[in-house]
Structure 1
């Protein structure tokens, strides 16, 4: 079985000429005109989850969640007056516990 290929050339597409002689693209815009971005949208629509997160953020205010501010102040004061002591054994045990919890 054979197929015949016709070698008839396809005419090249040409830009459309207007009455004034300027070239216009197929979409109707002048090729020399700058491209204008679409106007930004002024509306915003939040999902229920986003609204819940915003409400939680307002409720918590500026305080980080789970932070014991009294303990932070006591440690800060102990460091300032030189009475804060580091227990390397406790730090090492907690690091090993964390490693085990992470599957290490």
Structure 2
């Protein structure tokens, strides 16, 4: 059985390379890719976040800046892939922990 899904008049979002088959590519208009993250992006922590970080002390996980840069570059060039199964497993595990199950 073959089912075709159309946008039903909604805007077509850009897809990562390799996620669309040739038929889908031919039927959808070309769209511009989202701009890459700017070099001047920044993060501002709230007082609560700073207090939590200070309370964790040495237990706070170290930030792997090299890995962060690798992920940032992969997102920018469109090669970053999300493992949906791994995310689902993590959510199921977290739900079990919240419910008191090991």
Q: TM-score, normalised by structure 2?
A: 0.36
User: Which of structures 1 and 2 has the larger relative contact order (alpha carbons within 8 angstroms, sep 6+)?
Assistant: 2
Would you tell me which structure has more helix in proportion to its own residues? 2
- The structure that has the greater radius of gyration is 1
